[in-house]
Amino acid sequence: MAKMWAGRTAGDTSKIADEFNSSIGFDSRMYKEDITGSIAHAKMLAKQGIIAQSEAETLCDALAGILDDIASGKLLIDKNAEDIHMFVEEVLTARVGDVGKKLHTARSRNDQVALDLRVYLMNRVDELSERVYSLIAALTDQAEQHKTVIMPGYTHLQRAQPIMFGHHLMAYAMMLLRDADRMADCKRRMNVSPIGCCALAGTTYDTDRYFEAEQLGFDEIAMNSLDGVSDRDFVVELLSVISILMMHLSRLSEEIILWSSWEFGFVELSDAYTTGSSIMPQKKNSDMAELVRGKTGRVYGDLMAALTMLKGLPLAYNKDMQEDKEGVFDAVDTAKMSLEVFIGMISTMKVKADNMKKAAQRGFINATDLADYLTKKGMPFRSAYKISGSIVAYCIENGQVLETLPLETYKEFSDIFEEDLYEDIDLDTCVNKRNSVGGTSVQSIESQINYVRRKCNG
Ligand code: ARG
C-alpha cells in the first residue's frame, strides 16, 4: 500500500519491514487521545487563519465521528496501518476528502506521538492514584479494626518486639501515601504540552501553542522544541513510580504469603482470592499475592528497558523511541490489576488474632521491656541489656519464660527487680507503653489513621 509519506522513496517497503515498523498493535489504545489532540490542532489552525474556519469544522466533525465509531466498534482499527496517527488521518481523508490532508499542517508525528502519550499516561495516572487511595482506605479500615491485636514484630524475621497488627498495616498505608504523592508529582511534570514543537525545530507557521495546550488541559508547554519531541523522562519517571509501588505491594505480598502459611497462621485470605491445588486437597494458595510479587520483576524490566532504550539516543526523535510504549503500557496495566486484586484481597482478609497473640507470647519478645524496667529504676541501659540477656539465656536453658520466672530467680540477677516487673513485661503493657509518636500503641495507631485519612481527603 502507498505510504502517506511516500515521495522521497519510490520503492515499496517490504512486508516484513512494514510489520516490523508498525506500532498500531499497541498504540491503537491511544486513539482517543490522538483524535482529541487533532481536534485541538484543527481549531488552533483555524483560529490562526492557517486553515479556514469551515475547514476546521469539517475536520472536527469528522474526527468526532471517527472517535465515536471506534468507541462503538463500528470502525475497526486496521491492524495493517503503520500507527494510530496514520490510521486516523487516513480514515479522515477517506471521509472528508482533500481537506483531511490539511490537518497535519504545522505538526509532525514526532510532537503528535509525544502529545498522545503524555495525555494517555496522565489519564492512567489518575486511574492508578484512585486505586492507590482505595487500597490505602482498605488497609486503614483493617488497621482500625485490628488496632488492639497483638502480634510479634520482626527484625531479621526473628521475633523482636510486640506490635499491634494495625500498626503493621499502617506502615503499608504510609508507603502507599508516598506512592500517591509520587504519582501526583510525576503527573505535574507530565503536564507539559509538546504539541507545536513539530518535527524538531518548531515551525514557520504562526501557530498558537498556548491555545492548543490550554484546550487539551495542559498547564505548561515545552519551551525547547528539540526537548519537546525527545523527552521521555515522563515515561521513565512513571515507570519508576510504578516500580516503587510494585515493590511495596510485593513486600506486602511476601508477608501475606508467610502469614497465610500453616506455620504462621496469622491471616486467612478469602476464597475469592486464593486457589486450590490440582492434586493436594488441603491446599489454599495465595496465588494473587504470589503473582503480584512475580509481576513486580516484570515491571522492573519495563523500567530498565526504557532507561536503556534512551541512554544512547542523539536528539531529536529516533525510531527507537517507538519502544517507549509497550513497557509503560504493560507496567500501567499490571499495576492497575495488582491494585484491584489487592483492594479486594485486603478488605476481605480474616485476621487470626489468637494465633498472632500466641506467637507473640513465645520468643522472649518482651526482653527489651525487661531491660527498660531496670533502666527506668536507674541502671544504665547497657548493663540492663546484659542482665536481661543473661536471664533470657537462663530461661532457655531451664525451659522457662520471662512471664512466669519467679521473682526470687530474677533477684539472683539483680536486686532491683520487684513484683511490678511482671506488669511491665506484660504484652499489653509492652505495646501500649510504646506511645511515642509513630509508635505501636493504640493511641498512636489512632492518630496515624487520622493522619492518613486526612491526607487522603485533602
Ligand atoms: N509510531 C511512532 C512512534 O510510536 C510515531 C512517530 C513516528 N515519527 C517518525 N518520524 N517516524 O514513535
Task: Please say whether the beta carbons of 225 and 198 come within 8 A.
Answer: yes
Query: Which residue, 121, 129, 180, is CA-closest to 330?
Result: 121
Task: Please say whether the beta carbons of 296 and 304 come within 8 A.
Answer: no
Ligand 1 centre from 242 Cα, in Å?
A: 25
pLDDT at position 1: 58
Closest C-alpha residue for ligand 1 atom 3: 322
Residue 108 is classified by DSSP as: -
Cell digits of residue 239: 515507570
How confident is the prediction along the chain (458 residues), in pLDDT tens digits per residue? 567 777 777 678 899 999 999 999 999 999 999 999 999 999 999 999 999 999 999 999 999 999 999 999 999 999 999 999 999 999 999 999 999 999 999 999 999 999 999 999 999 999 999 999 999 999 999 999 999 999 999 999 999 999 999 999 999 999 999 999 999 999 999 999 999 999 999 999 999 999 999 999 999 999 999 999 999 999 999 999 999 999 999 999 999 999 999 999 999 999 999 887 777 777 788 999 999 999 999 999 999 999 999 999 999 999 999 999 999 999 999 999 999 999 999 999 999 999 999 999 877 999 999 999 999 999 999 999 999 999 999 999 999 999 999 999 999 999 999 999 999 999 999 999 999 999 999 999 999 999 999 999 97
Task: Please say whether the beta carbons of 187 and 122 come within 8 A.
Answer: yes
Residue type (1 letter), 263 = E
Ligand 1 centre from 306 Cα, in Å?
A: 16
Ligand 1 centre from 110 Cα, in Å?
A: 6
Q: Torsion angle of alpha carbons 113, 119, 122, 123, nearest 10°?
A: -120
Task: List residues with catalytic annotation.
Answer: 156, 277
Closest C-alpha residue for ligand 1 atom 12: 322
Q: At 164, give phi and psi (nearest 5°).
A: -90, 145
Instruction: Tell me which residues have their CB closer than 6 angstroms to ligand 1.
Output: 23, 27, 83, 109-110, 113, 317, 319, 321-322
What Cα–Cα distance (Å) separates residue 116 from each residue in 110, 193, 368, 401?
A: 10, 10, 57, 65
Ligand 1 centre from 413 Cα, in Å?
A: 77
Cis ω on the peptide bond leading into residue 316 (within 30° of 0)?
A: yes
DSSP H or E run through 92: helix 84-96
Closest C-alpha residue for ligand 1 atom 4: 322
Query: Which residue, 231, 229, 226, 234, is CA-closest to 182?
Result: 234
Question: 153 has which bridge partners?
Answer: 161
Q: At 293, give phi and psi (nearest 5°).
A: -60, -45
